[in-house]
Structure 1
Amino acid sequence: MEYTQLGRTGLKVSRLVLGTMNFGPQTDEATSHRIMDTALAAGINYFDTANVYGWGDNKGRTEEILGTWFAQGGGRRDKVVLATKVYGNMGADGETWPNHDKLSAVNIRRAVDASLKRLQTDHIDIYQFHHVDRRTPFEEIWQAIDVLIQQGKILYAGSSNFPGYKIAQANETAARRGGLGLVSEQCLYNLAERRAEMEIIPAAQEYGLGVIPWSPLHGGLLGGVLKKEAQDGRRASGRAPDALNDPAVRAQVQSYEDAVDKHGLRPGEVALAWLLTRPGVTGPIVGPRTEAQLTSAVDAVALDLPEDFLTTLNEIFPGPGPSPEAFAW
C-alpha cells in the first residue's frame, strides 16, 4: 500500500479509503469484520463512515459494526484513521425532531457523543460535515468544533459535498478564528463525472484539503457493466441502468470497456487507478460488499496506466475544464 499526507496536514493515510456504507444494509457484521481485517492487512488505514449509515430505522448500525470490530482489540483502533460524518437526522423511530440534524452547535455536540458511543472509541480522527448547512453560520460551527478538539473528542474537521465557495467560506472563517479549518473534502468524482474539476478540486488544492472521491465507479457504470451483461446476463445495479438507457452514455461506456480490454486490464481497477493520477486526490473511497471486491480494489494502487492510455481515457470522458473557461472565456 502507498501512503500520502492528508492535504496540508502531517497525517499519513493510505491511497485507498475503506468506505463502510454497505456494512449493515448489504453486508452482515461478521463479513464486515473480515473485510476490515483484510483492509488492515493490505495496509489500508483510512476508514470512512457516517452516523446515518445503516439508513432508515437502522441508522447508526454501521458505526456500531465498526465499534464491535474495534472492541476486539489487537491494535485495531490505533492503526485506523477513523472518519465519520454529521448532518443527517438521527431522531429515533423515524422522528424528525428539531435540532436532531444539520450543523448547529447543539446537534454537533449531541451527534459526536452518540457516534463515539456507537464506535466504542474516545475520539474521532476526522469529523466531517456531510453536507452544507445554509442556515448555520461557520462561526457557530467552528466554535462547536473548537470545543470538541479541546475536549479531545475529534482531531480534524473535513467536509463532504461542499461546493468550492463553501470550502473557501469555511476556511476563511476558520483562519480569522486562528483555526486549522477543513483538511479534507469528499466529493463525487470519477471518469464519468468530472465537474468537480471546475471549482471543488481547485478550491481544495488552494486551501490544502485532501480530496477524497466517492463513487469512483459511478454507481457501477465503470465496473465492466456491459461485459457482465453480455457474458452472463447480469443486470446493472445502482445508477447504471438509468444511465445506460441513454444511447450516448452506452456508447461511451462501450468505448471505455473496449479500451480497457485492449490493454488487458479490468475496468474497475482502471477507474480507481485513473483517480490516483489526478492532481489533489488523496485516495478514492472503495465500498466493498465482499472481500473479493476489496482485493480487486487494492490491486489498483500498483497499476501504472500508460500515458497513451490516459490520453484515450481523457478523449472518451473529457472533463469540463477549469472555471471560468468551462462556461465562459
Structure 2
Amino acid sequence: MHYTYLGRTALKVSPVCLGTLNLGVRASDQESHAILDTALDRGINFVDTANQYGWQKHKGFTEEFLGSWFARGGGRREKTVLGTKVFNPMSDWPNDSGLSARHIIASCEDSLRRMGTDWIDLFQMHHVDLHAPWDEVWQAMETLTQQGKVRYVGSSNFAGWHISEAQEAAARRHFLGIVSEQSVYNLVTRHVELEVIPACRRYGVAVLPWSPLHGGLLSGILRKLSDGTAMKSSQGRAAQALEGHREAITGYEKLCADLGADPAEVGLAWVMSRPGVTAPVIGPRSLDQLEGALRALELELDEETLNRLDTLFPPIGNGGPGPEAWAW
C-alpha cells in the first residue's frame, strides 16, 4: 500500500478511506467485521464514520459497532486513523445538534464512549453552522485537542468560502484549523472543482470525496438493472439521477466494456486521479466490493480515456476552477 499525507499534516493515510455507513446495517455483523479486518490487513488504515450513522437502527449504532471491532484487540485501534463527525441532530433537544461549543464537546465525549477509545484522529464538522462564530468553534476544538481527545479537525460539505473563513479564523488563534474536507465528488457531480478543491489546495487541506460512484450510478447500474442484481443503485441518489444521465451512463458502461474494466473501478480510479484528491471514501457492503476498490488503486486511466470521460460527463462551464470556468 502506498500511503499519502493527510493534507499539510505529517499524518499518513491510505489512498482510500473505508466508510462505514453500510457496516452492521446493509452488511451483516460477520461480514462487516470481515470487511474491516480485510481492509486493515490490506493496508487501508483510514476509517470514517459519523455520530448519526446507523440511524436505521438508532443514532450512534455505527460508532458502537466500530467499538465492538476495536474491542477485539490485535492493534485494531492503534493501527486505525479514525474519523467521525459532529453536527447532525442526535435527539429532538435544541442543543443536541450544530456546532455550538457545548454540542461539539458533548458530541466528542459521546463518540469516544460509543467507540470505546480515548481519542479521535479526525473530528469532522459534518456541515457548516452559520449560527456558530468561528471563535466559538475553534475554542471548543482547541479544548479537545489540548485534552488529547482529538488529534485533527476536518470539515464536510463546506463551500470554498467556508474553508477560507474557517482557516483565517484559526490562523488568528495560531491553531492548525481544518486539515481535510469531505465533499460529494464524482463524474456526475463536479461542482467542487470550481472553488472547493482550489481552496483546499491553497490551504493544504486534504480532499476526501464521498459518494465517488454517485450512490451506485457509476457502478454498472444499467447492466445490474437488466440482470436484476441492482440493490443500492436501484434507489436513492442513483435512481433519481439515472433518467437525467441515461445517455451518458450508457456511453460510460460501453467505454468501460471497451476497456475491459468494471465500471465501479473506473469511476473510483477517475476520482483518485483528480488533482487535490487525497482519498475517496468508499462504502463497501461486501468483500467483493472492497476487493474492487483495491483493484481500482492499480488502474491507470490514459489521456484518451480521461478525455472520453470528460466528453460523457463534462466539467462545469469551461472546466477547471472559477472564475475561469465561467469567465475569461
The interval holding the TM-score normalised by the smaller chain is: over 0.9
Match of 1:219 in 2: 215
Q: Structure 1 residue 234: deviation in Å? A: 4.0
2 CA distance for matches of 1:161 and 1:138?
A: 16
1:243 partner letter: A
Q: Structure 1 residue 22: deviation in Å? A: 1.0
Whether 2:312 is the aligned partner of 1:316: answer yes
Answer yes or no: is the 8 Å Cα contact 1:126–1:155 preserved in 2: yes
Q: 1:128 is paired with a residue of what secondary structure?
A: strand
Answer yes or no: is the 8 Å Cα contact 2:86–2:124 preserved in 1: yes
Answer yes or no: is the 8 Å Cα contact 1:2–1:301 preserved in 2: no
Q: 2:294 is paired with a residue of what secondary structure?
A: helix
1 CA distance for matches of 2:193 and 2:150?
A: 29
Identity of aligned residues (%): 53
Q: Structure 1 residue 318: deviation in Å? A: 1.3
2 CA distance for matches of 1:168 and 1:137?
A: 14
1 CA distance for matches of 2:272 and 2:21?
A: 21
1 CA distance for matches of 2:89 and 2:251?
A: 41
Number of aligned positions between the proteins: 323
Whether 2:49 is the aligned partner of 1:49: answer yes
Q: Structure 2 length as normaliser, TM-score?
A: 0.96
Q: Structure 1 residue 233: deviation in Å? A: 6.7
Match of 2:87 in 1: 87
Q: Where do 1:1-329 residues align within 5 Å?
A: 1-55=1-55, 58-91=58-91, 96-232=92-228, 234=230, 236-246=234-244, 249-320=245-316, 321=319, 322-329=321-328
Q: Structure 1 residue 176: deviation in Å? A: 0.4
Q: 1:184 is paired with a residue of what secondary structure?
A: strand
Q: Structure 1 residue 98: deviation in Å? A: 1.5
Q: Structure 1 residue 326: deviation in Å? A: 2.6
The alignment's C-alpha RMSD in Å is 1.2
2 CA distance for matches of 1:238 and 1:294?
A: 21
2 CA distance for matches of 1:114 and 1:30?
A: 25
Answer yes or no: is the 8 Å Cα contact 2:180–2:206 preserved in 1: yes
Answer yes or no: is the 8 Å Cα contact 1:220–1:237 preserved in 2: no
Q: Structure 1 length as normaliser, TM-score?
A: 0.95
Q: Structure 1 residue 245: deviation in Å? A: 2.4
- CA offsets 1:222-265 (integer angstroms, 9 cap, x no match): 0011122234474723322222223xx10000111111111111
- CA offsets 1:61-104 (integer angstroms, 9 cap, x no match): 0000000100110000111000000001112xxxx112100100
Q: 2:37 is paired with a residue of what secondary structure?
A: helix
1 CA distance for matches of 2:289 and 2:163?
A: 33
2 CA distance for matches of 1:234 and 1:253?
A: 15
Q: Structure 1 residue 311: deviation in Å? A: 1.3
| CA separation of 1:21 and 1:233: change in aligned 2, threshold 3 A | closer
